[in-house]
Amino acid sequence: MAIDVAAAVDTDLPELADVAARTFPLACPPSVTPENIVAFIDENLSQARFRAYLSDPDRAVLAARHDGRIVGYIMLIRGIPDDEDVRTAVTLRPAVELSKIYVLPDSHGAGVSSALMRAALQYATEAAAKCVWLGVNQQNQRAQRFYAKHGFNINGNKRFRLGTGIENDYVMVRPL
């Protein structure tokens, strides 16, 4: 499967929002309510939110395409939030957060995630980051294995608000 990864643009907004809405629920543990999933998608993964992400100079949204169709995406954010747990876990600075990485189910196992990860690490290197970090749900062992395969290690814990619920995440870090 030939995968092209490039920066997303405004004309990608409808497709990005659709891919995000279809893939986000796949990463949620069974305990998350459908209402909290919908609330998160509405608040964070709409076309309007992606438009804001694309115009933010501290963010990069990269889309993976196969045969002209977006099959996955990744969002990167320069810096570290004002979250004490993250600040404690991520000691190398400057840092880039791997905020989102999602692939459509029909493209799982086809190298899309790895292509997106390579592009993310290249972006972080070009941004002169000393590490890439991410939060991953403590129950999402599949994602944890993928990140470990790409050099990430668990460095701490943090909480993640998902609608009205709170999820427990690991903070994983990969030095560059």
Total domains in the fold of the chain: 1
**What is the arithmetic mean of pLDDT over 155-167?**
89
- Residue 30 is predicted with a pLDDT of 87
- Host domain of residue 67: 4-175
Tens-place pLDDT, residues 91-126: 999 999 999 999 999 999 999 999 999 999 999 999
- Identify whether the C-beta of residue 98 lies closer than 8 Å to the C-beta of residue 120: yes
Residue 160: pLDDT band with limits 50, 70, 90: confident
Task: Compute the distance between CA of residue 10 and CA of residue 110 in angstroms, rounded to an integer.
Answer: 26
pLDDT of residue 64 exceeding 80, the answer is: yes
pTM of the model: 0.94
Quickly list DSSP for 28-92: S-TTS-HHHHHHHHHHHSSHHHHHHHHH-TTEEEEEEEETTEEEEEEEEEES--S-HHHHHH--S
What's the CATH number where 66 sits? 3.40.630.30
